[in-house]
Amino acid sequence: MIEFRFPQILFLYIPFTLFIFLDIFRSAKYQIFADAPSNIKKILFENINLGRIRFKQNLLFLSTAFLIFAASGPQIGTALTPVDRKGLDLVFCIDVSSSMRGTDIKPSRLEKSKFEISQLIKNLKGDRVAFIVFAGSSHLYLPLTTDYEAAFLFLDQIDTNMIPTQGTSLSSALQTGLSAFSDDNSKFKVLILISDGEDHEGEAIDLARQASKNGMVVHTVGVGTESGSLIPSIDNNGTVDYKKDSSGKLITSQLNKKILEDISQAGKGVFLRFNNKPSNFRNIIKEIDTMEKRTIKSHIYSQYEDQFQKFGSFSLCLLIISMFVSSRSRKYHD
C-alpha cells in the first residue's frame, strides 16, 4: 500500500501533462527553417543531432515527473505482519430506547454512556470490542474487532432512533450479545449491559446465569437516577416536548437498579453506575484488568516508510545524464 504526505502536490501533474502535449503539438506543427532549401538545412544542422536534443528533452520531462512524485512524499507500507495481543472479547450491549434520552444524567443518559465507553476503549490494549444496540428488539451493530478507530466511528453514530420497536428487552440484548462471540472459548468473554433497566421483559436473569455457567462474565451498568427524569423528544420543527402516557400524563423514567443488580449477580459480574461524576469507566477497567487474558492473533500493516529519497535520487540521476548527453553530431564538415 502507498500513501502520500503531501498529496496535493500531485495536482502539478495536470499542468505538467498539458505542457508536454503542447510541446508535442508545437513540435509537429512548427519546424526550424521549415521553408528553407534542403541544402541550407544540411549546412545549418550539420553539427547538430536533433534526435539527441529530443532525447535530452525527454530525460528532463521524466526527471521532472519523478521530482513531482518525490515532492508529494510517497510512503510505502510492507505486507501484513502478524501481531500477537493479549486481551478479552468485550461486547457492549447499549440501550437505545427513548428513556435513554433522560437528562438526569448530563447531557443525557445515552450521551453519557457513549462518552464513558469511548474513554474505556481508549484504555484498552489488545481487547476486541463489539456493539449491540437494543430497545424493544436488538441487533449486532459492530462485530468483534480490534480496530478501535472504527469502533469510535460506530459509537458516535448510535442514537435513540436506531430501533423503531420501543421498550427495553434486556433478554433480547443478552441473547444477541452472547451470539456475538466468535468461538467456544468462553472464559475470556465479557458482556457489559448498559441500560436504565426500564420495561424489562423476558428471561434476562436466566440467560445471564446460563452465560455464567459457560464461563462468561456479565457486568451491568445502570444509567440514570432513582428520582428519574422526563423523556424529552424533538419533533421535525425542533420543538422540545416530553413523552406522555395514553392518559396524557408526563412519564418519568427511573433507574431500575434491582433488575440490573440481579442480572450481574446471575452473570457473576458486578453492577456499576454511570452517574454525573467523571471517569465512571475506570470502575469497568478495574474489573477487566483482574481477569485472565488470552493471546489474540491479529494482522496489521507495519509502519509506513518514507520513499521520497529513491524517487528524488532517480530524478537527479536523469537530470545529470541529460546534462552529459551531447547534442552535437559525430560527423563534422571538412
DSSP reduced 3-state for 241? strand
pLDDT at 202: 64
pLDDT higher than 90, residue 140: yes
Cα–Cα–Cα angle for 167, 171, 174, rounded to 5 degrees = 115
Range of the domain at 63: 2-77+305-324
Same domain, 213 and 161: yes
Contacts of 92 (CB under 8 A, 6+ apart): 117, 129, 130, 131, 132, 192, 194
Q: What is the mean pLDDT of residues 210-217?
A: 87
174 in a structural domain: yes
Same domain, 61 and 131: no
Please tell me the distance from the alpha carbon of residue 254 to that of residue 249, in angstroms, as a whole number.
15
Same domain, 86 and 65: no
Output the nine-digit C-alpha cell for 160: 435513540
* Residues paired with residue 295 on neighbouring β-strands, in sequence order: 86
Same domain, 130 and 189: yes
Which residue has better confidence, 42 or 12? Answer: 12
332 in a structural domain: no
330 in a structural domain: no
Q: How far is CA 328 from CA 55, 56, 129, 320, 324, in A?
A: 13, 12, 71, 17, 11
Which residue has better confidence, 86 or 312? Answer: 312
Please tell me the distance from the alpha carbon of residue 131 to that of residue 117, in angstroms, as a whole number.
10
Please tell me the distance from the alpha carbon of residue 252 to that of residue 246, in angstroms, as a whole number.
14
Same domain, 311 and 289: no
Same domain, 73 and 97: no
Residue whose grid cell is 544542422: 45
Same domain, 167 and 240: yes
Cα–Cα–Cα angle for 307, 313, 319, rounded to 5 degrees = 145
Closest CA to 102 of 36, 168, 4: 168
150 in a structural domain: yes
CATH number for the domain spanning 146: value is 3.40.50.410
34 in a structural domain: yes
Q: What is the mean pLDDT of residues 54-73?
A: 88
**Structural domain total, the chain:** 2
Closest CA to 221 of 162, 169, 291, 280: 280
Same domain, 203 and 312: no
334 in a structural domain: no
179 in a structural domain: yes
pLDDT band for 334, please (50, 70, 90 cuts).
Answer: very low
Same domain, 115 and 135: yes
Q: What is the DSSP annotation of 3-67? A: EESSGGGGGGHHHHHHHHHHHHHHHHH--TTTTS-HHHHHHHTTTB-HHHHHHHHHHHHHHHHHH
Listed range (88-92, 103-107, 143-147, 168-172) with the worst mean pLDDT:
168-172
* Residues paired with residue 192 on neighbouring β-strands, in sequence order: 92, 219
Pairing mode, strands 74-76 and 2-4: antiparallel
Please tell me the distance from the alpha carbon of residue 282 to that of residue 321, in angstroms, as a whole number.
64
Cα–Cα–Cα angle for 270, 113, 182, rounded to 5 degrees = 65
Same domain, 283 and 159: yes
Residues 230-261: tens digit of each pLDDT: 988 877 666 678 888 778 888 898 999 999 99
Cα 121 to chain center, whole Å? 13
pLDDT at 27: 64
Q: What is the mean pLDDT of residues 16-44?
A: 67
pLDDT higher than 70, residue 70: yes
Q: pTM to 2 decimals?
A: 0.64
Same domain, 156 and 55: no
Q: Mean pLDDT in the chain?
A: 83
Q: Give the count of beta carbons closer than 10 Å to the beta carbon of residue 101.
A: 22
Report the percent of the chain where pLDDT is more than 90. 38
pLDDT higher than 70, residue 194: yes
User: Residue type for 121, please?
Assistant: I
pLDDT higher than 80, residue 39: no
Listed range (91-95, 197-201, 237-241) with the worst mean pLDDT:
197-201
275 in a structural domain: yes
Decide if 97 contacts 224 (C-beta within 8 A).
no
Same domain, 230 and 157: yes
